[in-house]
Amino acid sequence: PARPEGALQRHQSPSCPLQPRLVAGIGGPAPRLGCIMSDGDQPALTEQQQAVYDRQIRIWGVEAQKLLSTSRVLVVGCTGLAAELCKNITLAGLGGLTIVDDTIATQTYSGNFLVSQDIRAVESGKSVGAIMAEALREMNPMVQIEHVQGTAASLQASSLAKYAAVVLARSSFAEQQRVNSICREAGVAFYAMESRGSFSYCVVDLGKHEYTVQVKQDEAKGEEGPARTETKTVNFAPLSAVLTAPWAQFPKRTHHGIYLLQTVAEAEANAKGDPSLKDLIAARDARADKEGAQGEAVLPTAALESWVLGGMTTVEAEMPLVNAVTAGGVAQEVVT
């Protein structure tokens, strides 16, 4: 069978796009402005936008900022990681941000810094998404930010086409795969992310994605003049293909995190809900027997224990530093 490509990445070139991006960072093939482009001429930036975004305009140019300022992103779930991401893309000058969540603030995840400091809002019983939207509007009034009651289960194809990207924060793998399928059909960039203790991951699926690179002339071959631009294509695989890919298809130095995600997805399906540690161990061992591998060597039980502990709503569930680093990388993926 064809090798799944790209749905999970880890700091590498498109030549090996199956590796998981488990820790945020720069990485990736090249600036991916294609995921935020829209048809037609873009309106000029206002004087206020040029002044506020001056530093980043110097990095990626006026045209890129114009494209960013006309793009909309949908974020589902209001975890601490989602709060960091929303803050980053709001300050970058996104055109619009829609937050989907129906969690009451008193039940919020501990790592959401946009909510924990707003004691009055928590006491009033507002939803986490509504409080986040208010805080983000204050950070950058030039971005259109709205909050919609709902969950990932309420997303339908008809409502996603207007977005450049959809980001799921802490959704089940069944829901991630369903929304990923919808996004592929609609031609919308798909991201899913989660932070559990010291572990975090980000799923990326841009479908058939084109990007450009600058290639220097080879003087040894007699080539002269400025660097030329080449267009390259990366075919991302759906998340479902990566979660079911045989272990033998992954490079030998693959981080065990990808096997963890495969195991959790299988255990979720078997348990029809959040799996226990016992469920995870059983799923890992069954997969290892099928693959003819030693389960503990490929995926240590300690990693499964950390996953379960990180899913609890406690102070340790989401670490602010992990959220900040991961969201920085995911934000860079989304805006470029």
For residue 107, CA distances in Å to 110, 115, 181, 271 come to 9, 11, 30, 24
Q: What is the pLDDT of residue 331?
A: 92
E strand spans, the chain: 72-76, 96-100, 144-148, 165-169, 189-196, 199-205, 208-215, 228-235
What type of residue sits at position 147? Answer: H
Tell whether the torsion through CA atoms of 86, 87, 88 and 92 is positive or negative: positive
Tens of pLDDT along 162-180? 999 999 998 999 999 999 9
Alpha-carbon distance of 25 to 49, in angstroms, equals 27
Alpha-carbon distance of 64 to 243, in angstroms, equals 34
Q: What is the pLDDT of residue 221?
A: 67
For residue 267, CA distances in Å to 8, 192, 255, 277, 284 come to 19, 18, 20, 10, 8
Alpha-carbon distance of 216 to 151, in angstroms, equals 47
Q: State the average pLDDT over residues 102-109.
A: 74
Q: Which single residue is written with the structure tokens 């979660």? A: 243
Confidence of residue 123 (pLDDT cuts 50, 70, 90): low
Q: What is the pLDDT of residue 316?
A: 53
Q: Could you tell me which residues are beta bridge partners of residue 205?
A: 190
Check residue 30 and report its DSSP letter: S
Tens of pLDDT along 282-325? 999 999 999 999 999 999 999 999 899 887 655 457 888 999 99
- Of 82-96, 98-112, 249-263, the range with the lowest mean pLDDT is 98-112
E strand spans, 18-161: 72-76, 96-100, 144-148
Coil, strand or helix at 253: coil
Q: Which of 147, 126, 125 is nearest to 136 (CA)?
A: 147
Q: What is the pLDDT of residue 225?
A: 72
The CB-side HSE value for 85 (13 A sphere, CA atoms) comes to: 34
For residue 55, CA distances in Å to 70, 91, 163, 262, 330 come to 19, 12, 26, 41, 20
Q: What is the pLDDT of residue 110?
A: 64
Q: What is the pLDDT of residue 233?
A: 93
Q: Could you tell me which residues are beta bridge partners of residue 97?
A: 73, 145
Q: What is the pLDDT of residue 95?
A: 87
CA torsion 161-166-172-174 (nearest 10°) is: 40
Which are the contacts of 296, defined by CB distance < 8 A and separation ≥ 6? none
pLDDT at 27 over 80: no
What type of residue sits at position 299? Answer: L
E strand spans, 16-174: 72-76, 96-100, 144-148, 165-169
Assess contact for 272 and 282: CB atoms under 8 A. no
Reported pTM:
0.80
Check residue 223 and report its DSSP letter: -
Q: What is the pLDDT of residue 103?
A: 85
For the chain, give the percent of residues with pLDDT over 70: 80
Confidence of residue 101 (pLDDT cuts 50, 70, 90): very high
What average pLDDT is seen over the chain?
81
- Of 184-198, 255-269, 307-321, the range with the lowest mean pLDDT is 307-321
Alpha-carbon distance of 234 to 275, in angstroms, equals 34
For the chain, give the percent of residues with pLDDT over 90: 48
Confidence of residue 9 (pLDDT cuts 50, 70, 90): very low
pLDDT at 149 over 60: yes
Tens of pLDDT along 59-73? 777 777 777 778 899
pLDDT at 34 over 50: no
Tens of pLDDT along 200-247? 999 999 999 888 888 887 765 666 777 788 899 999 999 999 999 999
